[in-house]
Structures are given as structure tokens and as C-alpha cells.
Amino acid sequence: MKLVWKTFFAFALVLLFFAVSIGILFGQLFRQNTLNAFKESLAVHARQLAEAVADIPARHEVNRPEMAGRGMQLGRNQREISDYLDFLAGHASEDIWLIDRDFNLLMSPDGAPNEGAQPDSPVLLPENARQIVETAFTGVSAYTEQFSDTIGQLTLTIGQPVMENGTVSGVLLLHAPVAGLQEANRQANLILLYSLASGLLIAAAVALFFSRRLTRPLIRMKRNAALMASGDYSSRCNPSGNDEMASLGRSLDTLGLRLEEARTRAAVQEASRQDFLAAISHELRTPVTVLRGLLEAWQDGIAGDPDETRAQMLTETTQLERLISDLLELSRLQQHDFTLRFEEQSITQILEDAVRSMKPAAAARKVDLIFVKCDDEQPLSGDYGRLKQMFLTVLDNAVRVSPEGSRVTVTYRDRAVTIQDQGPGIAARDLPHIFERYYQGTETKGSSGLGLAIAKAIADRHNIRIDVLSQPGDTVFRFLLPDQASTPARVK
């Protein structure tokens, strides 16, 4: 099942549960409110009847003074009371009983006096009438409600005390079905049902709309993820908002961008590797070809001066050995488990040794090599041989590209070493790639180009950062040395 429908059905179930809960609660509250309203109406009617019945003996005593004080106890007013209740019974929907203190039934719903009849008679009185009557004789109105199997609906019975001269002289019992309660409940339930059905339809449409709106970004992200899985990293979600889903979409876009950049770098690196392999093949083939030619000439007896031949062979084998050594050196330096011998070193001493080693080569090319020492030097933990090799590599390149009569300056100051030459400079397009392992610059086509890659590997192992600035006539390599505390201390 699709996510949009799962979300829709989740919304629909929540709304349905809410609607059913509201319906049940509304039905209970409506029924209770209707019953309370009917009970209050019946209570008011009962009080009015009780007051009217209590007023009959008073009027009778005024008309017949000899009966004063006897009241209802003698039943002398029963006929007049019966006539009054008969009149009310003809105009009311309730069943009315009148009971005196001796539990004589003075009045029943058919209007006939029932002297001597007992109020617990199942024929004449409603069920549980005695308990209501006994409670009413204490001066408190009493209620009971029950379902009548005879008429098939809820009925309400109320006992109202009839007060004469501050005492309870009788009880007026009213019994009536809760007229219209079931019909009112049915009508209310129908209205509620129609309202809830309409509301659910509208809510379902709104839920479907928001489900689609909520899942649309997920569908877009799913499509983009599938495209990235197939190798297309150019598609973007471009989410809006600041919620979690938008954050996920932006993360997916960032992932696609990084993958696209990585693929571009991998393609560039692969092309550089191919160029490197071609250059290495050429570099290896050249000395091997020369050596083979010399050996074949020697074997055929057509070689020239033996001393010159041997010198040429030695030169070619030395070049071949250096090339292979550089490759092995770079490979070892880039292995994390290859450790260097770290000891406390003097950068000034290392630079002096490097400059001293390059003096003959600089003099041969008529290049002035100058070293500006540091006045206040701090020691550095490092491998002496590797650090000297790093500086010698850059110095060798600087001397080699410098024209006759120019100057190469080595300066050590403020934990930074700079090597500056006055050569042709490095092309802007080559500058970001000069330390890459397989990259060959415009000025180094046909060579292995491993020297700077080795220098960069040595610098990385010593936490030294190398910055390069170059323009025609002015190239500066700047080595930023780390603090003593941040220098690794691995010894082997």
C-alpha cells in the first residue's frame, strides 16, 4: 500500500474514532438533559398539585367551621379533592394517586375513591411506589425512573408531600412516561449522524489533500534516491520549509551534490592516473631502451669507448633506480601504518644542510641561493631525513626552473619557512593540482611529477601546511610549521 493511502487511512481512523466518541457522548448528554428537563417539569407540576390539594381543606374549613382541624385525616374532603383531581386528570398526561397518612388510597388514575386500598398494590400503584411514598411522608420529594415493559418506554414517578399546617397530611404520587424521549433521541441521533457523515466526507477530502501534500516531498525524494542509485546525481529535491522532511530533502540534495563532485574528482583522477601511467611508462621505457641498445652494441662489438659506455649505462640505471625509488617512497608515505622516526629537530639546521646540498647544483646553473636564518628558533619534533627531503624537493624545483643570474631565497621566520624563486611561475590552472599524485602540470609534461606529491605526503605526516603563491617571475612555497604540542610523536 502506498504511503499516501496509509496516511489517509490513519487520518480517517482518527476522525472516525473522534466522530463515534463525540456521537456517544452527545447521545448520553442529550438523553440526560432531556430526562432532567422532564423531571423538573414533572416536579413543578407535582408541587403545584400538592399546594392545590392542601388548599382544599382550608377552603372547606372556611365554609364549614365545624370541620376545622380535622383535615384529610377524616376523609371529609375526599369527594371535593377527588373532583378536583378528576378535573386535572382529564387535562393532564400523568397518572395521579393521592395517599393519606394511613396509607389509604384516596385517589387513583381512574378517579374513583379507593378507601382502604394499600399503596403497595401492584394493580393500583406503579412498581416501587411504597419506597417513594415513605420517603415523601418524611417531607422530601422522591423520584424514581424505570423502563416499563407494558408501554415499552422509560417512565418517571415522583412523590410529592402534601403539607397541612406544617405537617405532611398526604402524598401526591405522579407517574408518567417520559413523553417523546425516545423520539427526541432518535431525531437527535439522526441529525448527529447526518452531521457526522457530512463532516467525515469533508474531513476525508481534507485528509486526502493533506496526505498527498505530506507525501509529495517523500515521493520526490524517493524518485531522486532511485536516480542516484542508477548513477544520476544531478536531480534535486529543492524542498521548502524548515521541518524535518525539508531537512531530509536538503540532506539528500547535499548527498547528490557530494556524489556528483566525487564522481567528477574520480574522473579527473582517473584521467590523471592514465596520464601518469603513460608518463611512467615513457620514463621507464627510456632508460631501459638506452640500456638495451648499449648492451646490444657491446655484444655486437660495435660499442665505442668502453669507459663512456659504462658511464652512460650507470647514468641510465641511476635514473631508473631514482624513479622506482620515488614511486615506492610515495606509496609508503601514504600508508597510515608507516611510521617515521620523530625526534626533536632544529629547523635551522635542516635548512642549512638542505641549502648546502643544493649549492653545487645552483652554482652550476649560475643561480644565487640565499638562506635567511631565524633569530629565535623553537624546536620541532620530526624525522630529520624526511624533512630535509621535503625542503630539498622544493629547492631542486626552484633551482631547476630559475634562469641564470636569478636568486632563490630561503627564509625561516615566525614558525614559517618560505622558498622563493624568480622562475617562470606556475600556470593558474595547474596551481590547485601540483601536489596531486597523478597530476602533471603544463611545464612538466613527460616527467613523472612525483617530487611535490612526496613533499606533500611528508608535510602531512608532520602536520605542516604548504601554501603556494605564483606569478611569472615570483613563486613562493610557504611551509607553516605546527606548534610543538600538536606535532605527532611516533618513533620507530
pLDDT string in tens for the chain (492-residue length): 566 666 767 777 777 777 777 777 877 777 778 778 878 888 888 888 888 777 765 555 444 444 444 444 434 455 666 666 666 555 556 678 888 777 777 766 665 554 444 444 444 566 667 788 888 888 888 888 776 655 556 778 888 888 877 788 888 888 777 756 667 777 777 877 777 777 778 877 777 777 777 777 777 777 888 888 888 877 777 777 777 777 877 888 888 888 888 888 888 777 767 766 676 676 677 677 777 887 777 777 776 677 777 777 787 787 677 777 766 666 666 665 566 788 898 999 999 999 998 898 899 999 999 999 876 678 888 988 889 989 998 998 899 899 999 999 999 988 899 999 999 988 888 888 888 765 666 555 444 567 788 888 889 888 999 999 999 999 999 999 987 544 443 433
Q: Are residues 328 and 382 in the same domain?
A: no
Could you tell me if 18 and 166 lie in one domain? yes
* Domain that includes residue 469, residue range: 343-486
Q: Are residues 27 and 118 in the same domain?
A: yes
Residue 319 CA from chain centroid, whole number:
61
Note whether 329 and 368 are same-domain residues: no
- Same domain assignment for residues 152 and 44: yes
pTM over 0.85: no
* CB neighbour burial string for 356-390, b if at least 16 within 10 angstroms, e if fewer: eebeeebeebebebeeeebeeeeebbbbbebbbbb
Check residue 143 and give its pLDDT. 80
- Whether residues 314 and 354 share a domain: the answer is no
b/e 288-303 (16+ beta carbons within 10 angstroms → b): eebeeebeeeeeeeeb
Q: Are residues 308 and 363 in the same domain?
A: no
What pLDDT, on a 0 to 100 scale, did the predictor assign at position 290?
73
| pLDDT the model gives residue 74 | 33
pLDDT of residue 387: 92
Q: b/e string for 146-160 if b means 16 or more Cβ within 10 A?
A: eeeeeeeebbbbbbb
Q: Note whether residue 216 is domain-resident.
A: no
Which pLDDT value is given to residue 92?
Answer: 58
In angstroms, what CA-CA distances link 281 with 199, 296, 347?
Answer: 80, 22, 37
* Total number of domains in the chain: 3
**Residue 63 has what pLDDT?**
46
Q: By the 8 A CB rule, do 342 and 383 touch?
A: yes
Provide the H-helix boundaries in 301-346.
306-333
Whether 225 is covered by a domain: the verdict is no
Tell me whether residue 227 is in a domain: no
CA distance 464 to 166: 112
H/E segment holding residue 287: helix 244-300
User: In this structure, are 474 and 452 located in the same domain?
Assistant: yes
Coil vs helix vs strand at 386: helix
112 shares its domain with 26: yes
Q: For residue 314, what is the domain's CATH number?
A: 1.10.287.130
Q: Give the ranges where 92-171 is alpha helix by DSSP (H).
A: 129-136
- SS3 assignment, position 113: coil
| Residue 165 Cα distances to 65, 169, 330, angstroms | 16, 9, 123
Residue in 265, 253, 231, 200 with CA at minimum distance from that of residue 17 = 200
Q: Is 230 helix (H, G, I), strand (E, B) or coil?
A: coil
pLDDT attached to residue 27: 74
Query: Are 423 and 478 contained in the same domain?
Result: yes
The answer as to whether 172 is a domain residue is yes
Residue finishing a domain among 304, 333, 362: 333
Of 333, 365, 393, the residue at which a domain comes to its end is 333
| 99 assigned to some structural domain | yes
Q: Which of 142, 165, 184 is the last residue of a domain?
A: 184
Q: Tell me, what's the pLDDT at 406?
A: 93
Q: What is the CATH number of the domain that holds 399?
A: 3.30.565.10
CB burial of residue 419 (10 Å; 0-12, 13-18, 19+)? buried
State in Å, rounded, how far the first CA of the chain is from the last one. Answer: 62
342, 350, 460, 466 from 490: Cα distances, Å: 6, 19, 14, 22
